[in-house]
Amino acid sequence: MSDTYDIDEGLAEEPEVLTLPLDAWHRAHGGRMVEFAGYWMPVQYEGIIAEHHWTRSHAGLFDVSHMGQLYLAGEGVEAALEAVLPIDLATLKPFAPRYSMLLDEDGGILDDLMVTRWRTGFYLVVNGATKWDDIAHLREHLPDEITLTLLEDNALLALQGPQAFAALDRVVTGDQPLSALTFMKGGEFKLAGHDVWISRSGYTGEDGFEISLPAEAAAEIADLLCAQDEVRTIGLGARDSLRLEAGLPLYGHDLSPETSPIEADLAFAINKRRRAEGGFLGAERVLRDLAEGTGRKRVGLALEGRQAAREGAAVFAENEQVGELTSGGFSPSLEHPIAMAYVAIEYAGPGTALEIEVRGKRLPARVTALPFVPHRYHR
């Protein structure tokens, strides 16, 4: 149970570094804790590469409770939400999450998020590092009749990997079988006797589930899941390498107010009616970009050799800088470095040979289609 969030009061009282409901649990399980998005979070347990491979072959449990879980309700909430998000809520079925973005007036991306129609309102999951700003932005642009509740008493876990279903199905109960959930479908279930919300979704490219649960039950449910032979705890490091291989953008790196949805190759999130009607924040730029194209685009890059390139590295075509890396690292699955970058549109075609400058040295790279590793969602 959560109270409606008071923005001014909440911002004034926000501590410098917060702890997750599972903070003590992570430390007891050997988690190496680092500061991320204003929280102490586990970056790894036994090692990033081992955790990465375990998730690709078995099932990994991720604590993503730093994410903001919001609930919006009130008379006219659907129209109000469509005024701030470029999403067609008329086509959004109950309990079926959908990807969307929060845009500013100039069409820049303030955050990317998931939207789900619940019984009497909408459930949003926003990024942890931006949730306070997101709340303020929504409160500024939503009518007073709309209540915005931060679900502060909820934790959020992600169980990801090809054996995630087998592990979760063994311990979950509900009015419908877990098998009724296909990719981007959700429902109400029970775990260890607690009411939970489960969606078949995630950010690794694998089959898997995201579980919203009472924070007070987080340790009990984490213990229950980790007692399954298929499941191990996974930290932030592997979460990043998994999402990079899956070609999924990370806010604050691959997405920012300086990027538009079309530059970011996220046009799929703006469907036919919103393209025709507009009527959302940033629509002028988004519709112009759709009609006229953009000068740059987010692309994948496969690097030769073993040396990885990181965010901020310059991308060159011969002696001309044509872009900049926004994410990069070594791919444990492919055993070579990969990256995402924004490059000038004339160099964005798959197969284009480019170079990335790292410490004064040029590394050969080639534009490649995303994702780097095929998605294995259960559709």
Does the pLDDT value for residue 362 go beyond 80? yes
Q: Tell whether 288 and 165 lie within a shared domain.
A: no
Q: Tell whether 162 and 24 lie within a shared domain.
A: yes
**Contact between 316 and 263 (Cβ < 8 Å):** no
**In which element (H, E) is residue 221 found?**
helix 218-226
Which CA distances in Å does 159 have to 34, 138, 277?
Answer: 21, 29, 38
- Any long-range contacts for 162-166 (C-beta under 8 Å, 24+ apart)? 162/56, 162/57, 162/58, 162/59, 162/206, 162/207, 162/376, 163/57, 163/58, 163/59, 163/230, 163/231, 164/59, 164/206, 164/207, 164/208, 164/209, 164/230, 164/231, 165/207, 165/209, 165/378, 166/59, 166/230
CA distance 213 to 59: 19
**Contact between 42 and 31 (Cβ < 8 Å):** yes
- The verdict on residue 63 lying in a domain is yes
Cα 318 versus chain centre, distance: 34
- The verdict on residue 375 lying in a domain is no
Q: What is the mean pLDDT of residues 354-358?
A: 97
pLDDT, one tens digit per residue, over 198-238 is: 999 999 999 999 999 999 999 999 999 999 999 999 999 99
State the residue for tokens 């953009």.
294
Q: Which domain holds residue 205?
A: 1-246
Q: How many helices, marked H, and strands, marked E, lie in the chain?
A: 10, 21
- The verdict on residue 241 lying in a domain is yes
> What letter would DSSP give residue 376?
-
pLDDT, one tens digit per residue, over 266-314 is: 999 999 999 999 999 999 999 999 999 999 999 999 999 999 999 999 9
Q: Is the pTM of this model over 0.85?
A: yes
* Torsion of Cα atoms, 139 then 142 then 145 then 147, to 10°: -50
- The verdict on residue 363 lying in a domain is yes
CA distance 189 to 198: 7
CA distance 362 to 276: 44
Q: What is the mean pLDDT of residues 181-196?
A: 98
Q: Tell whether 152 and 222 lie within a shared domain.
A: yes
- The verdict on residue 183 lying in a domain is yes
**Contact between 45 and 30 (Cβ < 8 Å):** yes
CATH number at residue 337: 2.40.30.110
Which CA distances in Å does 242 have to 54, 56, 272?
Answer: 11, 8, 31
CATH number at residue 18: 3.30.1360.120
